[in-house]
Chains A and B, each alone.
Chain A
């Protein structure tokens, strides 16, 4: 399967503007030792800081860490626990899983048998139809959550339907959307997927007002921004949910937020989601697993336990740029969900960093070399 959904596409020049100073986050000290005063041979030959930084990145780097799956600790390592674990496996696969599949099937039957008539018969009565469709979508999401024995604890006041507000959350897997959706029918912005997910997207999710985008289409960004703006202004529209990280991260780190959600002129309501790793690792590693496999994995685990916090809505402060605003919200969410912040753009999963960073380092070193040269000539 191709990718997890990114929320807002950005061109490569956007990647730079989107980031506050990376230098603030990277290991301290410039990677190139800048000569002071008189220039000596040593200053030019000593490449050890840059080398060390490169080697450091090879050995461990904060970006890859964000996408590392963290399966729960193995506890079946001795002769007493192993049979117990085997019993657990049998129970999970042969008893729990069929029961859950059954629950899910029943849910779908109920859902479709209500949704299809409502959708077609109530075409005239839009208000009522929308209300019922919303309730039905919340219903089917609850069935999904039940099919993983999802234990979700919601904290904070439930989102209300008001114009000029958007919700942002950290992103671990597509199930984030389902978990939030069972409580409130959000309109989400997602990458268009192929397969059965895409089918659901274009039929059912369309009815709650979801917005699609295609990361690979160039003009897409403007269209999407416009749609977002329109949606957020409308009073009847379902509250808009955005995952500004743009990609799934492993629930221990947070990558940089794309600023698109923060320049709509709306109040931003942060939502923090934290999964309890003891039960299952909910991180969807889209490079390793298709979404179907991911769901099956969840359905054969004991439970999905998570906490959802609806945090205090925030507004753009006077003099604050959208990027600073995004960082502030990222801070709020990361603190609440216990995530470590890293300065990388989630889209680096799919593309190389812009040469601007390297050039900045080169430029500062070059300038100091030239300065040294000038001193010599005096």
Chain B
């Protein structure tokens, strides 16, 4: 652990904890801070997109570009808030809320594009998406909100949990 934890006071830790709705324990926040400092190589107090991409495991993920729009330039408090959706303590509601507001057909198409790359044509993507939407009772014009997501994804199988290593 060393000296990084001394830069975080108890007050700081509690503030961060509150900000993320107690999704992480205090020890986990200290570990996350160490990690944050490790990623923030130039010491600017925030992690840039480039610094995130220097983690190869992150860079090979198909959703990395999309996540970067949300992650770029986050300070530590916001960083923890972002990761709080992945805490085992976050409720299912909180996890889905993460997928913010209303989702349009084009949003879903974009995500599908991320996941499939150049291996399906745009036309096929549209086709597939329209078909499954209709089967589920929606149309191309529907705007999906949180309650829709809860219905579609169901409470089972929404496995979005990440373990924070604590020394």
Binding site for B on A (CB under 8 A): 26, 31-32, 39-64, 68, 71, 74, 287, 344, 348, 352-353, 357-359, 361-363, 365-367, 369-370, 372-373, 376
Contact = CB atoms under 8 A, between A and B. Distances in A.
B38 A369 contact: no
B158 A39 contact: no
B128 A49 contact: no
9 contacts: A40-B132, A43-B132, A44-B129, A45-B108, A53-B61, A54-B58, A358-B117, A359-B118, A362-B119
Contacts of A45: 108, 111, 149, 152-153
A160 to B, nearest CB: 39
Given A58-B58, A59-B35, A64-B38, 14 more contacts: A41-B152, A52-B159, A52-B162, A54-B58, A54-B61, A54-B63, A59-B83, A59-B165, A64-B55, A287-B41, A358-B61, A358-B64, A366-B119, A373-B124
B112 A59 contact: no
A255 to B, nearest CB: 11
Given A47-B63, A59-B35, A59-B83, A40 B120 contact: no
B50 to A, nearest CB: 10
A358 B60 contact: yes
Given A39-B128, A45-B152, A373-B131, A61 B111 contact: no
B162 A55 contact: yes
A313 B56 CA distance: 33
Interface in B105-159: 108, 111-112, 115-120, 124, 127-129, 131-133, 135-136, 138, 149, 152-154, 157-159
Contacts of A43: 132
Contacts of B162: 52, 55-56, 59
B53 interface: yes
A74 B3 CA distance: 10
Contact of A50 (B61, B119, B136, B157): B61
A290 to B, nearest CB: 17
A296 B16 CA distance: 40
A43 B152 CA distance: 10
Contact of B159 (A32, A48, A61, A373): A48
Interface string B79-103: 0000101100000000100000000
B8 interface: no
B45 interface: no
B132 A32 contact: no
B160 A48 contact: yes
Nearest to B134: A41
A362 B64 CA distance: 13
Contacts of B164: 59-60
A357 B160 CA distance: 22
Contacts of A74: 2
B14 interface: no
A57 B57 CA distance: 6
A46 B83 contact: no
A61 B58 contact: yes
A271 to B, nearest CB: 27
Nearest to B161: A52
Given A58-B83, A61-B55, A363 B117 contact: yes
A45 B135 CA distance: 14
Contacts of A31: 61-62
Given A26-B57, A59-B32, A362 B62 contact: yes
Nearest to B116: A366
Nearest to B38: A64
Given A74-B2, A353-B59, A42 B154 contact: yes
Contact of A41 (B39, B41, B86, B136): B136
B86 A52 contact: yes
A41 B116 contact: no
5 closest residue pairs by CB, A with B: A362-B117, A366-B119, A57-B57, A366-B116, A57-B58
B52 interface: yes
A46 B153 contact: yes
B165 A60 contact: yes
Interface in B12-35: 32, 35
A361 B165 CA distance: 27
A363 B57 contact: no
Contacts of B41: 287
Contacts of A50: 61-63, 115
B131 A47 contact: no
Nearest to B32: A59
A308 to B, nearest CB: 29
Contacts of B39: 58, 64
B85 to A, nearest CB: 8
Nearest to A363: B119
A58 B158 contact: no
Interface in B36-74: 38-39, 41, 52-53, 55-64, 67, 71
Nearest to B113: A362
Given A50-B63, A54-B67, A59-B32, A40 B158 contact: no
